């Protein structure tokens, strides 16, 4: 699996780019953490990959498929192989845990079958298996809004894994969670990425967590990549380059 | 306001008062603002009400004359006469059927229109025409729509059903759209990110968030259609209203009272029915099983 991002630019308002030409190659399995101050475009970068945000210019290719020009059913097909985990879990609150997991198969199951909850048996078997893995086996028919934050994020990870993704994206997956739960969620993301040998791309705030879990750390500041290396190389000087100075004042929207 | 050119430089009270006076009135020294224009409007409304009352013969003498008439009318209503109950029952059943069919048709049409009118799901070139259509359905009173349908498709229940269905689209369609516009887009975004088709995004990202409110609106509309179905008959669009109207015209006031009592009973029955539907879908675990 290879993800190549080439001169990616995103501006929400004309002349005020949030991403100012990002070049990045993610090759093979491993957890890559993207750190950087708020408003620097980490979330925008992640969302450009599965086109929840439309890039303004530049290219993103996944295993040779150019993603930025896809539309309609081609885009949906590409999205099927990209799992995503969100900061606020984004579960469908009024559906059960099982239904939320099966949401991960909606790219494969037609509306008529899905609406009547006629999912293929292998999907349901996989859902139970994943619930076992994330430790929520006994919660299958509870409603998502009855779960705690950590439980919800585990459901969200299981939902993303239901897609059998070739790339897993996570947008600040631990920012709404307490430190202990954050560690559990990061462990789950790393281990599942390894078990499936897929790359995991995680936005995060917590530098220590990034050092602890990431095989590679990318530091962003002011819409640029300013650091790209392993945790050991991320000394105070480098951190100053990412968070320090006045860079946090730019693109504060 | 030319006074702004000379701001009060001195901090003392007298200077401040002078400045306030220069700023066009004693607003700064009076605790409440009194508005002459508001008083003037009040007087004008009162004058117009008096004028309208004289124009329409809305007087005490007229009211007293009316009371005598009303007393005679009431005395002729009692006791209610249920002798012609087969006609009554037939009308009631027709009204009930009209209300149920019109609700089903109206709600079925409102579901897609509600989605198409939602600005958070659809581009403006879709939402705006749909919203216009729905507000057109709401613009005319159901009785006027019923007259139009009687002229178009002839007397009878069909005209009434169509008229009530149009009214249902007008109200329920708008309420559906508003409910959809209030949903959390985060849940929709997550479903979309899985590569789901549009219909699956609707089915899993949107419907679960609005189903409870939809059921509430639909039962409310059933209730409302039942009420209106007893009325459109007056213009020949089927239901108990026609029976009521002809009883009035033949001065069968005791039969009129019998019809009115039956209508009240059926409306109350409708409320029980609506509550039943609500308790099954909303209070119960109607979702996802």
Could you tell me the residue range of the domain that residue A74 belongs to?
1-81+168-173+198-253
The per-residue pLDDT for B283 is: 61
The pair of structure tokens assigned to A12 is: 């929400």
Judgement on whether residues A149 and A88 belong to the same structural domain of the protein: yes
Does residue A186 belong to any structural domain of this protein? no
Contact A106 B187 (CB under 8 A): no
Does residue A188 belong to any structural domain of this protein? no
pLDDT digits (tens, 9 = 90+) for B98-126: 999 999 999 999 999 999 999 999 999 99
Read off the DSSP letter of residue B279: I
CA distances from A105 to A90, A101, A126, A138, B288 (A): 16, 8, 11, 21, 16
CA distances from B188 to B120, B124, B277 (A): 10, 19, 28
- How many percent of chain B have pLDDT more than 70? 87
User: What gap in Å lies between CA A209 and CA A183, rounded to an integer?
Assistant: 8
Top CATH class, B85-283: mainly alpha
Q: Does residue B192 belong to the interface with chain A, where contact is any CB pair within 8 Å?
A: yes
* Residues linked to residue A24 through DSSP beta bridges, in sequence order: A5
Judgement on whether residues A72 and A87 belong to the same structural domain of the protein: no
Does residue A181 belong to any structural domain of this protein? no
Residue of B nearest to A49 (CA): B193
Task: Give the closest residue to A153 by CA, choosing from A228, A199, A84.
Answer: A84
pLDDT band at B156 (very low <50, low <70, confident <90, very high): confident
Residue of A nearest to B203 (CA): A115
Q: Which of the residues in chain A have pLDDT under 70?
A: 245-253
pLDDT digits (tens, 9 = 90+) for B197-222: 999 999 999 999 999 889 889 888 98
Residue B22: CB partners within 8 Å, gap ≥ 6? B3, B6
Residue B155 CB neighbour total at 10 angstroms:
16
The per-residue pLDDT for A90 is: 93
Q: What is the CATH number of the domain that holds A97?
A: 3.40.50.300
CA distances from A155 to A95, A139, A226 (A): 12, 10, 34
Among partner residues B193, B197, B205, which is closest to A92 by beta-carbon distance? B205
The pair of structure tokens assigned to A44 is: 């925008």
The pair of structure tokens assigned to B137 is: 């359905």
Task: Name the domain count of chain A.
Answer: 2
Q: A19, A44 in Cβ contact below 8 A?
A: yes
> What pTM does this model have?
0.77
The per-residue pLDDT for A252 is: 47
pLDDT digits (tens, 9 = 90+) for A214-224: 999 999 988 88
Q: What is the mean predicted confidence (pLDDT) over B129-152?
A: 91
Q: What is the mean predicted confidence (pLDDT) over B51-77?
A: 83
Judgement on whether residues A16 and A73 belong to the same structural domain of the protein: yes
Residue A56 CB neighbour total at 10 angstroms:
16
Contact A106 B197 (CB under 8 A): yes
């Amino acid at each position: 699996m290879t993800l190549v991002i080439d001169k990616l630019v995103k501006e929400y308002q004309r002349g005020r780019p949030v991403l100012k030409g990002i070049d990045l190659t993610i090759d093979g399995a491993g957890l890559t953490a993207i750190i950087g101050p708020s408003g620097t475009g980490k979330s925008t970068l992640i969302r450009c990959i599965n086109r929840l945000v439309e890039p303004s210019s530049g290219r993103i290719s996944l295993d040779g498929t150019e993603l930025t020009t896809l539309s309609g059913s081609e885009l949906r097909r590409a999205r099927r192989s990209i799992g995503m985990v969100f900061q606020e879990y984004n579960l469908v609150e009024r559906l059960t845990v099982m239904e939320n997991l099966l949401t991960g198969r909606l790219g494969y199951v037609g509306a008529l079958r899905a609406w009547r909850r006629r999912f293929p048996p292998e999907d349901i078997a996989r859902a139970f298996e994943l619930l076992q893995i994330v430790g929520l086996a006994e919660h299958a028919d509870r409603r998502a809004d009855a779960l705690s934050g950590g439980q919800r994020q585990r459901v969200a990870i299981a939902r993303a894994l239901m897609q059998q993704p070739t790339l897993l994206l996570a947008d600040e997956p631990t920012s709404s969670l307490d430190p202990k739960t954050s560690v559990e969620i990061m462990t789950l993301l790393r281990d599942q990425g390894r078990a499936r040998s897929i790359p995991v791309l995680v936005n995060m705030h917590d530098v220590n967590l990034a050092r602890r879990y990431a095989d590679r750390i990318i530091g962003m500041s002011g819409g640029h990549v300013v650091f790209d290396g392993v945790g050991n190389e991320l000394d105070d000087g480098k951190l100053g380059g990412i968070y320090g100075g006045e860079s946090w004042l730019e693109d504060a929207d | 306001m030319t006074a702004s050119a000379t701001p009060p430089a001195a901090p003392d009270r007298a200077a401040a008062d002078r400045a306030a006076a220069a700023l066009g009135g004693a607003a700064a020294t009076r605790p409440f603002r009194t508005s002459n224009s508001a008083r003037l409007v009040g007087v004008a409304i009162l004058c117009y009400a008096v004028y309208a009352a004289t124009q329409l013969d809305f007087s005490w003498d007229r009211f007293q004359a009316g009371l005598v008439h009303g007393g005679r009318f009431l005395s002729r209503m009692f006791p209610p006469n249920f002798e012609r109950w087969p006609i009554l029952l037939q009308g009631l059943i027709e009204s009930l059927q009209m209300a149920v069919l019109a609700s089903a048709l109206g709600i079925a049409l409102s579901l897609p229109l509600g989605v198409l009118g939602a600005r958070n799901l659809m581009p403006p070139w879709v939402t705006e025409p749909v919203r216009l259509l729905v507000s057109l359905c709401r613009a005319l009173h159901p009785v006027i729509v019923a007259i139009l349908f009687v002229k178009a498709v002839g007397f009878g229940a069909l005209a009434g059903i169509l008229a009530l269905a149009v009214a249902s689209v007008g109200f329920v369609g708008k309420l559906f759209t508003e409910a959809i516009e209030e949903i959390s887009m985060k849940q929709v975004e997550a479903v979309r990110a899985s590569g789901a088709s549009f219909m699956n995004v609707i089915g899993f990202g949107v419907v679960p968030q609005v189903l409870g409110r939809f059921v509430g609106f639909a039962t409310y509309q059933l209730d409302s259609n039942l009420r209106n179905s007893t009325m459109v008959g007056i213009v020949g669009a089927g239901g108990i209203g026609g029976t009521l109207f002809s009883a009035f015209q033949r001065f069968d006031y005791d039969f009129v009272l019998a019809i009115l009592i039956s209508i009240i009973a059926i409306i109350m029955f409708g409320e029980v029915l609506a509550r039943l539907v609500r308790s099954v879908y909303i209070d119960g675990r109607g979702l996802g099983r």
